[in-house]
Structure formats: C-alpha cells, structure tokens
Structure 1
Amino acid sequence: MSGSVVEHASKQYRKRTNQVEGWLERVQLELQEVQNILQKGEQEIQKKCLGGWCPRNCYSSCKLVDEIPVDKTVGMDSILNEVWRCLDGHQVRIIGMYGLGGVGKTTLLKKLNNKFIDKRHGFDVVIWVTVSKEVNLVGIQEVIRHKLQIPDETWEKKTDEHSRATEICRSLSGKRFVLLLDDLWERIDLRNMGVPDLSYHQNGSKIVFTTRSEDVCHSMDAAVKKFEVKEFAETVAKECKGLPLALITIGRAMSNRRTPEEWRYAINTLQSHPSEFADMESKDHMIRKDELIDLWIVEGILHNYGLNDTRDAGEFIIRSLKHACLLEKVGDSDDFVKMHDVLRDMAM
C-alpha cells in the first residue's frame, strides 16, 4: 500500500462525525460559561474585600496599621519590648499603662503602633483611638468603622450607637485585632464601642491603653504597667529618685551623649554635685498622713463627713491621690507621703 493511500485512510478514520462536532461545541460553551461565572465570582469577592466584609485577610485592600509620626526617644526600649512580649503571649488580653502626664505614655503607644509595620505578627488590623477626658462615643465608633472599612451605605443605616456597636462587633469578630486606646480618664465600656468581650473572643486579640490613674487600669481588668522614664541606666534612675522632672532634665542634658565615658561622668556628677545639672535642686518634702488629714480637717475640706468617718475619708482620698500619681509613697513606710515639686509649683 502506497504512502498516499495510507495517509488518506488515516484522515478518513480521524474525521469527526456530526454528533461528535455538536458535543464538542456544547462542551466549549459550557466551559466558557464556567469561566464567566468564576470571573464574576472573583469580582464580587474583591468588592466585598474593599467593603470590609471579607472574612479573610485582605492586605491588598486594607492597610494593617497607619504609621504615626513620633520623635526620637531615649529610654523606652525595655518597656516597649515588655509590652510587645505581652502582645505576643496568650496570658494577657488587656494591658494598662499608667503614670503622670508628660512621662511618655502616648509616645510609647505610638512607638508600639509603628512597631507593627516591620515586625512579624499574626494580627489582622491595628486600630488607634484617642479617647481623652470627655468621651465622645460617636467619634470613637466613627474612627473604628473607618479603619474597618465599613461602607458608608451600611453605616448610614445604623441610626443609633447600639446598632453601630453591633455592626462594629460583627466586623471585629472575624478578625484578630489590636486596639490602642490613648488617654483614658475613667473606665470605658468596650461593649458600647462595639468591641467584643475578649473573655469569649479568644483568638489572641489585644487591647492596650494609657491612663493617669491606676484605678482605671484595675477597673478595666487590665494587666498593670506603671510607666517610668528610666532606661538611661539603672544608676541614673536611682540618682534621680524616679522623679520625672529630674529624668527629663537629665534626658535633655544627655540627649546627644553616646559614649560610656560621658554617661559615667554624668553619674559621678549626679552623685557628687547634682546641682551642676540645672533645675535639679529638690523641693519636695514628706509629710505624715495623720498630719495631712488633720490639716484637711482644720481647713474644712472633710466637713461633709461625720466625725467617725472623717479619718477614713482622709485615708481614702490619700490612696486615690497616690493611685493617680499626685502623691508619692516615701520609702517602704505607709505613714508618709510627698508631692512632686512640679505638681506643688503648679498648685501654687
């Protein structure tokens, strides 16, 4: 059999019947329809992600954390690392940092916020909210919903704080989040904001806040961290007696010092001639608590209390002032207190 005959016979054998041709055409149409469905589905997924409705992490459409400008600082690394370890662990869910105004609590919280930018972690979103003394719940909810990218059309249907809190809670419940609350003056009900109860929402979400009052930390069931500006060196902090004014003064004087020799000289100067550092003279003075309460009674400050309750009221006020960092304990004794000279000057 010649080659041409074989080729002709082969072509005849491979020739498709009309039935096969029809079947193949239907298959191609079905495949095209499937492809169109898949493409539409992907478009819908992208829309939902952009609207903040996607249950998975949409890093391409939702920015994890907004960087906050912060000045260069000295002496916060140890505290920052300690708080970060708490965020990385499972034992602590709420962290409260308290201390006098101006010691650097907000700065530390900003540095913590920015640390999420270049550190490996498993959080889906980091939310910063400034609370302040006059709590504006509507404004707080607005900040949170913008970060969660809840659509305007959905948000506008929520006409009261409760329904908006429910919407925020629904969105947060699908995420492992960090909520940073700056400047709490009193206990705030997280449920009114829309924040899930972390006792039940056990996916590793965390809340960190700053306050001037230790009582606020306890009322929020937080792990408490008292904030001190201290990592120039343990010796320097000891010589400054932990006083913010002294630490700030030394920090300003030593801000451009980098060598161990310079720091050793500063420590020697503090130990031998502390007055050589400007404004380092001490003006605070300890006073016995009983004497302080007696003075309050004479001044009529405790006149609203009965005779038997007056001293108890005085003790309660002193404890409250100590928790708010307005009075300081003297050594290991509970019999004496003192006021920082900065606060005394402000009062005068």
Structure 2
Amino acid sequence: MDQLQQNLRRCLDGKRFILVLDDVWSENCEWIELEDLLMGGEKGSKIIVTTRSEKVALIMGVTSLYHLKGLSEDDSWSLFKQLAFRRRQLAENPSLVTIGKEILKNCAGVPLAIRTVRNLLYLKDTEIEWLIVKEKLWEIDQDENHILPTLKVSYDYLASHLKPCFAYCSLFPKSCHIEKETLIKLWMAQWFVHSSGKDHDFEDIADEYFKDLLFRSFFRDVDEDENGYKSFKMHDLIHDLAQLVAGTEYFLVNTSVENMSERTYHVAFDSTSCSSSSWEVPASMLNARKIRTFFLPGKQGPGKRATQDALISSFTCLRTLDLHYSGIENVPSFVGKLKNLRYLDLSRNWLHFQNLYASCRTCRHLNSPIVMS
C-alpha cells in the first residue's frame, strides 16, 4: 500500500485531474485517508461523488450538492409501455393504460422500480390481474425517495421456493461479483432446492431458480460464456431489499455484530469492512448456536484462529463453512465432527499436499464437493 500511495502522489503531483467515486454508500471515515493522497493535484481538479445517502455526502464534505430527480412522467410511461405490454393490442386497451399510469405513481421515476413492476405485469393480460397488482402497490405507505416498499411487492409475488434463495444473496457484500455456480451449490447445501421427481438433477433445478430471479430483474450485469451464465451482480437497491426480507435469520457483518439475534442462522463477514487486524470473535455469536452458514472475514493470526476454531466447533448445525484465504495449512480437526456440513471452501490456502488425503477422509460425509482450488 505504501508503494501504491507513492505512485498515486507522483501521478497527481502538479496535474489537474477529475475523479469519479460512483455509488458510495459507506458512512465510515475512510474518505479522510484518501483525501490526503489527493491534495497534490493542480488547482481546478474535481472530485464527483454519487450516492443515495445525503449523510454520505455530508461526511465527504461536498461543496455542491445536487439532488437528481427520477424520470419524467412521459419518460416513465415510455419505458413502462415498452416493457409491460407484450402485444400491441394490450397497449391500446384504455383500461390497462389507465391502471398502468396509476401504478407508475408508486415507482417515483426510478427505472429499476419500473422494470421490477413490469415483471409483475408482463404475463398478466386481464384488467382484473392488473388491478390486483395496483391495489397491492397502493397499500404501500412510502415517500418518493424510498422505493424499497415498491420493490418488496415483487418479492412478495415470488414463488415460495425462490424467496430463501433470494434472501441468501444478502450474505454477499454490495457491488461484488457473485459466481453463479458457487451460489447454486450454496443453495443446495441449505436444502433450498427441491426436486419433484427422482430423475431431476438438483443443479439443473437450481439453474432454473437462477434464471427465474434473473428474469425478474433481481440480478444484473451478468457475465456469460459459451457454457452459459458465469457471474452476476445485484443492484444496491436490490441488495437492500435482500437484507430487508432476510430479517434476523441472515447477517452480513460490516463492522459490528451487536444486533445479532439468537435466531440468526446464516453469517458472513464483509472482508471490505472487517479488517483481519481488528476483527475479534463477537460475544453475541456465542448464543447463536443454530448457525448453518459461516463465512470468515479473511486471513487471521494464529491466536485468533484458535479462538475462532473453538467458536466454529460449537456450531453443530453448520451446513456451509467458508475457510477460503484463512491462512490454514491443515484442515481443522473439528470439521470431521460437523455432521450436517454439506459445503466446505478451502480454496486459496497453502494446504500441504500430505494433508489433502486426510482432508478428504475428514470430510467424507459431505454431500457436496470440497472447494480446494
């Protein structure tokens, strides 16, 4: 990091620059450290910050604050009409047009909300079906700057088997790329994927779950290759929705876990917020004995690792354990005692080759492959 800082100062020293920090949401004070590195630029240099939180803007000390509005009524209707009507004759139905314009009032000109509502209406062709959606939306009490309640309606309409799959995505940090294959295996490890017959392959069924959520605009920025979908991201608003519906059962740790409930079943540490140097085993986790998912924050020192091993060994209901990049050289002995474990990630560790056979024997009860790349 020291060398990177020196290079940055050398690049900016005496030069005019423009820096865009897009979609900033963290309310921590890391900005102060970055600000010091940018002071060598020539007068007239500019920094543009985009954020959905006015508190973030105030923390960053912006000199000019611009509140962006949503799409105009005409532009909103143009986008809605393009997305919601499958056939031209539907777009010419005056009753559907009237209902559609009333529905748009709940979208506050936000394109994401318009696309999400579109998914509720796309396969509905009758006036009664559109009225049901409209009544559902009009029950919402929200201001124009808070679109989450409207987005939640799309979650409420999800099939029951898709709801836990979507909520599970709340364990990933905002704006991160999520590997589709990994997510599918995690769903399977938690028994979220259900087969209607003996001949159905669980991974194929999970793949259909993924495509269904993708069609409904819960996922975006999908990377593909000749074999299909590889990875994706979630819009920050959709991530907020996932955390909203996840409730106390899912917990993404940013800086503290004081609000962790005894009913928390799935825990992940955001490595971008929880530094390995300051992370400590939280006392509140000692009461959460029914944890089924545990993602570690990253590399830990030997002292902390001993404490964390003792903690994890108490999670007798654990189904998913992520130890990637944790600095281990041997598979912890407690892993063999986790009888419900179905997914174990040991990747990015310098495991000794002589330990690989022992690792496989220790984890022989796993019903999913061990990630050891």
TM range (shorter): under 0.3
Relative contact order higher in (CA < 8 Å, ≥ 6 apart): 1
Larger Rg: 1
Normalising by structure 1, report the TM-score.
Answer: 0.26
Normalising by structure 2, report the TM-score.
Answer: 0.25
